[in-house]
């Protein structure tokens, strides 16, 4: 049974739909990242035909069983309009099969430009309308307002970069604001304000790398915490309680190559995703289950 309503019929908030999907399907997000090297590993050409075969295989294998699919827009954009057509198909097919689709686009801009990004990914009826999109807040959290408003109006969600897994991020994210908070904490506090009063989970999530070890931040935002870095980047589901503490129950672990390298057969993809989902479920249970405020 589908976990997401058709684009014009969102009857629940994204946070509520995500909570349900994580509880029923397991807390796992699988990225769709068609690296040229992965296409080669699958025996495919690095062209639009290879992109389409790779993408649709992943969607067909996993969309009826994982909580979230996360296509990385850049790997489709590099093929121009034909690549975007494949991305549109992936979004449509993934949602139709019951997965929530998180568009990994990391958009960040101001004014009418951010409004245009919001119209692209968060406005029902758009060809790329998704359940959620990743955003960069480092032009100021207020610059995200058009996307935050569009997500609320369309029943969608956003995941805002906070503490990312790349080492270079620290020079910005861990810099200190005038009041002594880290810049990442300032962003997390804004997210908490956006999610105030939401039940069972807010629709504004944070991106916090699973490879960070102790985050040193207050991650209680009453919203989901997308945790990239599981698998090929070196983190494992059992690391989650150390990074996220009492908020582990709101964590959505994200794995890409750790699952995708088990293709091109659907069975291999499904088995790998099932292993990560079960390990993530066990990590959540070991940390005390669903987080509460």
How far, in Å, CA of 261 to CA of 127, rounded?
Answer: 29
Active site annotation includes 70: no
Structure tokens at 180: 């002594």
Question: Which residues, 6+ apart, have CB-to-CB distance to 63 below 8 Å?
Answer: 69, 93, 94, 96, 97, 98, 99
Residue of 106, 174, 246, 270 with catalytic role:
106
Quote the strand ranges of the chain, DSSP E: 29-32, 68-71, 100-107, 132-135, 157-163, 204-208, 225-230, 251-255
Question: Is the Cβ–Cβ distance between 100 and 68 less than 8 Å?
Answer: yes
* Cα 268–Cα 134–Cα 113 angle in degrees, nearest 5: 140
* Non-local CB neighbours of 215 within 8 Å, separated by 6+ positions: 163, 208, 243, 244
153 upstream amide cis, omega within 30 of 0:
no
Question: Which residue shows structure tokens 């904490």?
Answer: 185
- The residues annotated with a catalytic role in the active site are 106
């Amino acid at each position: 049974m589908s976990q997401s309503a058709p684009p014009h019929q969102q009857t629940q908030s994204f946070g509520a739909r995500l909570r349900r999907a994580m509880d029923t399907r397991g807390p796992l997000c699988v990225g769709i990242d068609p690296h040229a090297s992965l296409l080669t590993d699958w025996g495919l050409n690095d062209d639009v035909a290879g992109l389409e075969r790779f993408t649709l295989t992943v969607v067909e294998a996993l969309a009826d069983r994982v909580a979230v699919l996360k296509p990385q827009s850049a790997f489709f954009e590099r093929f121009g309009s034909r690549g975007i057509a494949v991305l549109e198909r992936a979004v449509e097919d993934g949602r139709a099969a019951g997965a929530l689709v998180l568009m990994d686009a990391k958009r960040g801009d101001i004014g009418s430009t951010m409004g245009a990004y919001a119209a692209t990914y968060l406005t029902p009826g758009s060809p790329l309308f998704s359940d959620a999109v990743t955003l960069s807040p480092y032009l100021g959290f207020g610059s995200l307002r058009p996307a935050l408003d569009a997500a609320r109006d369309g029943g969608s969600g956003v995941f805002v970069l906070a503490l990312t897994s790349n080492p270079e991020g620290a020079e910005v994210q861990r810099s200190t604001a005038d009041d002594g908070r880290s810049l990442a904490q300032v962003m997390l506090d804004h997210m908490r304000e956006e999610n105030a009063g939401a039940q069972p989970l807010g629709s504004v999530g944070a991106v916090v790398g699973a490879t960070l070890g102790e985050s040193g931040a207050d991650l209680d935002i009453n919203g989901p915490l997308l945790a990239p870095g599981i698998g090929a980047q070196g983190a494992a589901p059992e690391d989650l309680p150390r990074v996220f503490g009492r908020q582990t129950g709101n964590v959505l672990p994200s794995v890409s190559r750790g699952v995708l390298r088990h293709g091109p057969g659907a069975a291999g993809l499904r088995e790998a995703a099932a292993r990560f989902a079960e390990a993530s479920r066990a990590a959540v249970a070991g940390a005390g289950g669903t987080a509460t405020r």
